[in-house]
Amino acid sequence: MGANYWSLWNWHNLAARNILSYYEKYPDPIEHIARRVGYRIRPSWIWTFEKDGHPGLVMGFVNDGISGVPGVLRITVFSDDGKVNVSGCLDAGYPLSGKVRQAQFFLPPGTDWKGLKVKAELEVKGLKHPVNWACHQKTNPDSSLTLQPNLR
């Protein structure tokens, strides 16, 4: 159930008191909607590969929100020492709600992916805005996510 459901279901008698009354009886559906409002992007899958001596990453970005991205999502993979700084943009509006969009990044030769960071920025009308990842993992103070293996 998405936020648009409320406008169809209750268009003739839309009032805050009606929604509050429903919330008092059944809080779970409204809390679920509130957690999904807007776009909520997270890196979901990350694969490593090597091609022609260049290591690389393939990332699957998921949107757990109820709307598409309102602009262009720029993804940057970087290292603290500045030796790695690669970025690219997903198609405008992607990933769509509930969908996955994949992106591929070639890294400089000899780069180890462990410890690299990934950040997202929203580009709208030539301006860049930082994006906070909607993931369970702890993010860095700059809203980036440090890549690390999850298999032991």
Query: Residue 124: its pLDDT value, please?
Result: 92
Alpha carbon distance 42, 10 (integer Å): 32
Q: Residue with structure tokens 């769509």?
A: 96
d(CA 88, CA 103): 8
* Domains, the chain, ordered by start: 3-36 (no CATH), 41-146 (2.60.40.10)
- State the pLDDT at residue 35: 74
Residue type, 95: P
The DSSP annotation for 50-106 comes to: EETTEEEEEEEEEE-SSS--SSEEEEEEE-TTSS-EEEEEPPTTPSPTT-EEEEEEE
Q: Select the more confidently predicted residue: 22 or 72.
A: 72
- Three-state DSSP class for residue 21: helix
Distance CA 138, CA 144 (A): 9
pLDDT, mean over the chain: 88
- Averaged over 24-41, what is the pLDDT? 86
Contact criterion met (CB below 8 Å) for 79 and 117: yes
CA–CA dist 93, 58 (Å, integer): 20
Residue type, 72: V
This prediction's pTM: 0.78
Residue 7's pLDDT is 53
Is it the case that residue 129 has pLDDT exceeding 50? yes
Q: What pLDDT sits at residue 5? A: 53
Q: Are strands 117-124 and 145-146 parallel, antiparallel or unpaired?
A: antiparallel
